[in-house]
Amino acid sequence: MLVQTDSVTNRWVNELAIVLYCLLVAGCSDHQLNTKIVFGNVSCGGEPVADGYVRFVPIEGTPGPASTGKIVDGKYRIDQRGGVPVGKHRVEIVARKKTGKKVYGTYNLEPAQIDETVLLGPSEHEGTTSPLVREITDDSDGQIDIEIPRNPGGPMRSAPSQRGV
């Protein structure tokens, strides 16, 4: 009985060692996602977008996570995690403009008077329905300028700017 237990134990230890080795090799591989730092200008109806976000969402088999950059004074830059994965992306834009008014909202999760903003551009550019598609290649310089059309009815709706959240 002792001989059989040793054989079973040895087999179990060998199988465990193989599984651990496979996990170690998979977790420590040198394969990294091919990325590119992306930057550029964002305008709406020919005017720089003062505030908002640009998001590159991989499509059509492009590997990797979505990448987001803040728009400040018409410019954005995405360099987190090495940038945006190389490949084809849907580009989502949330573009805002200050109205000059103060409204009650939140700042650092506390009630406060904050700048009122209005969203610019057609709403379909804000999410999964965005028609904007851009391809990032290994040999590009990373500059991708984005122009979205002005909303034909003017600014769409009020949205309090939430700084520090």
Residue range 14-70, pLDDT digits in tens: 565 666 555 554 454 445 889 999 999 999 988 999 889 999 999 999 999 999 999
| pLDDT given at position 120 | 84
pTM of this structure: 0.68
Cβ-contact 87, 62 below 8 angstroms = yes
Each domain of the chain, given as residue ranges in start order, spans 1-31, 35-96+122-152
For residue 147, the one-letter residue type is: E
| pLDDT top residue among 109 and 23 | 109
DSSP structure string for 15-49: HHHHHHHHHHHHHT------EE-EEEEEEETTEE-
Cβ-contact 58, 85 below 8 angstroms = yes
Dist CA 37 CA 141 (whole Å): 9
Ramachandran angles phi, psi of 22, nearest 5°: -65, -40
The fold for domain 35-96+122-152 equals Immunoglobulin-like (2.60.40)
